Amino acid sequence: MSDLSQSIQKPPYPSLRDKGSLLAYVRYFWRDLVLLAAFFPALSLMELMNRPFGTVRNLEIAFDSKIPLLPWTVLIYHSWAPLIITLIGYYLLRDRELFRRYVLTMIVGQLMANATFPFFQTMVPRPEAQVAQATDIFSRLLGLTYGVDNPYCGFPSIHVILCTLTIIFVWQLKGAKTWFKVLVSLYFTVIAITTTTTKQHVVLDIPGGIAYALAAFLLTKPLIKLLDRKVFGDQYR
């Protein structure tokens, strides 16, 4: 990671040696922090939708039955959150323009998915009895996941939306080593796959998540330009 840090030029932030530096930092970052604060409510909004609405569909296909249940992959499945938060913080300190585009696009992608669920609700059949009977630690962790997460809101997969956008934006991080971009891309691809090995999603939820991520990426471009012009346009942008 030190090679990566050295390869990226740090933006000119207010100096901590200056008088009133705390105020300068507040003026410098407050818009970014407001944007970041909006990310978490958008993330938790799915819990309001994670229940049956109208016609509940089952999108299982034959290939789903060929994918084994791998309880240990629940660790990878849940690793997306700390990794995305880490990347958000890194972008904030290294490339604030990329930070804004990344966070705003993820918010839009989640809102698009949440707007879909009430009109196209799906349920993922889960092997809850099989998991409950197992005694290994990974099955117990997966059982806890089943206990706190209802089996609805499958299509599109928000997990896959955020993983896809993470892969897209890491390749736009200027100065980052290729190995770092490849590593992030491969790992978040694996996270997307674990949505099926934990039986939290079915196969069709993955292309659905990819499609929504690409649509969010395209639809957010004009919004980002508007925010850059209207909100982030002064010397503290």
Mean confidence (pLDDT) of the chain: 87
Q: Calculate mean pLDDT across residues 119-133.
A: 96
pLDDT, position 12: 55
Query: What Cα–Cα distance (Å) separates residue 141 from each residue in 17, 73, 145, 152, 158?
Result: 48, 10, 6, 19, 20
Residues 28, 233, 105, 182, CA torsion sign: negative
The DSSP code sequence of 170-201 is HTT-TT--HHHHHHHHHHHHHHHHHHHHTTSS
Token look-up 């809101």 returns 153
pLDDT, position 35: 84
pLDDT at 132 over 60: yes
pLDDT, position 24: 57
d(CA 83, CA 142): 20
pLDDT digits (tens, 9 = 90+) for 191-208: 999 999 999 999 999 999
Other Cβ atoms closer than 10 A to 192: 25
d(CA 78, CA 212): 21
Tokens of 22: 């705390």
pLDDT, position 237: 46
CB 32 within 8 A of CB 99: yes
Binned at pLDDT 50, 70 and 90, residue 17 comes out as low
pLDDT digits (tens, 9 = 90+) for 38-96: 888 887 888 889 999 889 999 999 999 999 999 999 999 999 999 999 999 999 888 88
d(CA 137, CA 164): 29
